A and B are shown apart, each in its own frame.
Chain A
Amino acid sequence: MSLENVLNNWSKYRRGAEEGGHHDYEHKWAMMINLDLCIGCNACSTACYAENNLAVVGKDRFEKGQAMHWLRIERYWDQAEQEFPEQGASFLPMMCQQCNSATCEPVCPVAATYHTPDGLNAQVYNRCIGSRYCSNNCPFRVRYFNFYSYYESSWPEPLNMQLNPDLTVRDKGVMEKCTFCVQRIRVAKDKAKMENRKVGDEDFKPACVQSCPTSAMVFGDYLDEGSQVRKLWDKYQVKMGPAKQDKQEPDMRGYRVFEGLNTDPSVLYLERVREKV
């Protein structure tokens, strides 16, 4: 048994990240966010709260920087020097980038965060011992730690009736983060499996993607040539895997945040477009 296991694992996971560690995966969930369409309205963020049982921490703890928003919208002013931000604000929906060579994975002492055959950064809550190393090693700072037990404070009766039974309510001492709504993926895959087919674009969307009023977010399976997200990645000539992108049209929009750090994120952002008047 174990020997077989060795051989399987070896043949399956031999390939390194630089040659696209994800090639052997069943799926490679990926996202595309068009920052030109993102109006920063928070719909995605709140949808995430509703879907993923995110705790509301309250004013004091928010002040201490202990908020639990998996998907936060970062707002920047581009023109620091001008008196008025005449180009408006820049909004950046920042959630876990599900890096292929994630920096959070190797450092977890108990392998509570690891890479699934779907190419996701899994976070197994009940395995986590709360060393918080993963979060320290995350350049995007998108991992959130349960510093307290929120169940009573955040969901007083009967608010707790809203909790989504498809995923746990994390208790204190556990690290958590965006999972691309893995519970939805799970349901969709089960359904597809029962119908003996592969999961397609239309089967499900993560809560944020579903709710986005301007449809700025696109989600899908990168390995599925036909999927919308794959087409977009190809259109913007960004490949998953290689450290160095070779775009035929270098001016093409489309970049990944902190690409230089070579963590190979699965979220493609399209630059925000502004017209000089």
Chain B
Amino acid sequence: MKRYSIMALFGDFDEAFEAIAEIRHAAIPGITTDDITLKSPIEHPEIEEVLGERPVHIQKFTLGGALFGLIFGFFFLASAQATFLVQPQGGKPVIPLPSNFVLVYEMLIFFGVWITFFSFLFLSGLFRKPHPLYSEKVSLDQIGVLLEVDEDKMQPLKELFNKHKAVEIREGVIHQ
């Protein structure tokens, strides 16, 4: 059986909200909100009310990165200071903590920030080539609701979308 991908564009976020809400309440059997991808020009945290909780893992990586910066930083400095061919301090401690605190602090942030950035790149599904149904409208002022469904679900979906005044409905076939 053929699978289609379908995207409805809404002029107003509330409409999209309603539409998804309806899908969530199993208006059409066999389609759950998990299949839905929402595309919006701005951030809509409130959509999760209907879309359901979707977890974010970046903070864990951040923590890891920061800790790495902390530990690696300190050991790096300490070992460098300790094995310095000549001890340039004249009667002061070999591994001076005060200055190392400062440097380690910086390294903590350094690694924290970079790891955060990289984890963002990998976790947020970037670097994909744009979806065939992608519309510039989404980056302008319209909300897109994207699903992949079987042939038989298409009709009810379109009706549902139209009911909620979808500005435009795009569809495409996914060959199998």
Binding site for B on A (CB under 8 A): 2, 5-6, 9-10, 12-17, 20-22, 100-102, 105-106, 108, 111, 113-115, 119
> A105 to B89, Cβ gap below 8 A?
yes
Contact B92 A106 (CB under 8 A): yes
Q: Which of B83, B88, B91 contacts A6 (CB 8 A)?
A: B83
Whether A2 lies near B79 (C-beta < 8 A) is yes
**Minimum distance in angstroms from A264 CB to a CB of chain B:** 9
Question: From DSSP, what is the main secondary structure of chain A's interface residues?
Answer: mixed
Q: Which residue of A lies closest to B88 (CB)?
A: A114
Q: What is the bound-complex CA distance between A12 and B94, given in angstroms?
A: 10
How many chain B residues touch A (CB < 8 A): the figure is 13
Question: Are B82 and A102 neighbours in the complex by a CB distance under 8 Å?
Answer: no
Q: Is the CB of B82 within 8 A of A101?
A: no
Question: Given the known A-B contacts A14-B93, A14-B94, are A105 and B88 also in contact in the complex, defined by CB atoms under 8 Å?
Answer: yes
Cβ of B87 under 8 Å from chain A? yes
Query: A210 to B60, alpha carbons, bound, how many Å?
Result: 69
B90 contacts A100, C-beta separation under 8 Å? yes
Which secondary structure dominates where chain B touches chain A?
Answer: loop
Residue B86 is within 8 A (CB to CB) of chain A in the complex: yes
Complex interface: chain A residues within 8 A of B94 (CB): 6, 9-10, 13-14
**Can you list 24 residue pairs at the A/B interface with Cβ under 8 Å?**
A2-B82, A6-B82, A6-B83, A6-B94, A9-B94, A12-B87, A13-B90, A13-B92, A13-B94, A14-B93, A14-B94, A15-B91, A16-B91, A20-B91, A100-B90, A101-B90, A101-B92, A105-B88, A111-B84, A111-B86, A113-B88, A114-B86, A115-B89, A115-B91
Of A9, A20, A21, A119, the residue contacting B82 (CB under 8 A) is A9
What CA separation (Å) do A114 and B84 show in the bound complex? Answer: 12
Per the bound structure, the CA–CA distance linking A37 and B83 in Å amounts to 47
Chain A residue at smallest Cβ distance from B91: A21
Closest residue to A11 on the B side, CB-wise? B94
B89 and A114 contacting across the interface, CB-CB below 8 Å = yes
A101 proximity list for chain B (CB < 8 A): 90-92
Q: Bound complex: CA of A93 vs CA of B87, how far in Å?
A: 30
Residues of B within 8 A of A102 (CB): 90
Nearest-CB distance from B85 to chain A (Å)?
8
Which B residues are CB-close (under 8 A) to A105? 88-90
Residue of A nearest to B99 (CB): A106
Q: Is there an interface contact between A16 and B82, defined as CB atoms closer than 8 Å?
A: no
Distance A105 CA – B88 CA, assembled complex (angstroms): 7
Task: Indicate if the CB atoms of A115 and B88 lie closer than 8 Å.
Answer: yes
